[in-house]
Structure 1
């Protein structure tokens, strides 16, 4: 049988996760409630975890509070804590204070982040919509005015709120 060059099973993480010392090299911006960048952050973080074979640590179906994690071994806990470090290293201080819970699994932290952003989504959409509707050109150039419209409409689109003509 040919050697595939891998000594770790394909279903588990490899030793390459231990080499990540600066998660910000892979996720180049902080998750921020004010910037409404959750969807972009989530996609980058999820892609990173899939690439390192640790997405199962975020998937609540394998480690929810109603169901114990598939593997309770020390190595599973070690990898779970590495994933939590990645999560904690990609947030603003205010978000970190909101989601930091002792002894939580990475899946529980992932869910807390998702809940935090879904709770704030509607109020932020109303705030941005009001700002967009009250925007006037005033002394601005057309370019400045259009840039301001885009800076409001992009976050609205990012949280799933369409901008009508």
Structure 2
């Protein structure tokens, strides 16, 4: 126990990055192509790196000599963090031998941005052509909401008015009284 009046030294922030062995304890969101959660994952990962003062590695703008052993070690630790927060599919798509963190970060961004427009068109088409069929109303609405959320995740927002129109247009004839009431 420290004596009264003595100061307790705080661990150096730079030393704390060496203690992180399981990034999922800090960033529980796994980056996945199917979930379209890139923007959320990016924000969490970026915030974590800023908090540990290693964001310069993501940007590729080093504060120190990139040839130093310390810089290379930290760069590889941050790269391990990234790899530990990716789905197997994303990891296999971006992994490159001897890449820096900045190169990996850019590869991930490119992967998600190149698929963004095609996925938005695909999801929008699914939303417009979705029918209730034999589904329960709750299942139908949940499916619409999940497509809406996926579109929002990639920045392709659907106005609420359009969402209501898609939903009522796809109801079966047994719900005609409901769709008439909503339209009024």
Partner of 1:114: 109
Give ranges in structure 2 of 5+ residues lacking alignment: 1-6, 163-184
Q: Which residue is 1:134 aligned to?
A: 129
State the partner residue of 2:30: 30
Asked whether the equivalents of residues 38 and 112 of structure 2 are also in contact (C-alpha less than 8 Å), the reply is yes
List structure 1 runs of 4+ shifted beyond 3 angstroms.
3-8
Match in the other structure for 1:71: 65
Is 1:44 aligned to residue 41 of structure 2? Answer: no
- Report the Cα offset of residue 74 of structure 1: 0.6
Report the Cα distance in structure 2 between the residues aligned to 1:70 and 1:102, rounded to whole angstroms.
Answer: 23
Aligned residue number for residue 56 of structure 2: 56
Partner secondary structure for residue 58 of structure 1: helix
Alignment of 1:17 onto 2:17 = yes
Runs of 5+ consecutive residues of structure 1 not aligned to the other structure: 64-68
Is 1:85 equivalent to 2:80 in the alignment?
Answer: yes
Distance 1:94 1:119 in 2: 15
TM-score (norm 2): 0.77
Per-residue displacement from partner, 1:93-134 (whole Å, max 9, x unpaired)?
A: 221112111111101100110000000001111111111011
Q: Give me the whole-angstrom Cα distance separating, in 1, the residues matched to 2:109 and 2:50.
A: 18
**Alpha-carbon deviation of 1:40?**
0.9
Q: In 1, Cα distance between the equivalents of 2:11 and 2:16?
A: 12
The 3 A distance-change label for structure 1 pair 162 and 5 is: same
Q: Which has the larger radius of gyration?
A: 2
- How many residues are matched? 153
For residue 14 of structure 1, give the secondary structure of its aligned residue in structure 2: helix
Q: C-alpha separation between the residues in 1 aligned to 2:70 and 2:137?
A: 58
TM-score (norm: length of structure 1): 0.85
What residue in structure 2 maps to residue 162 of structure 1?
157
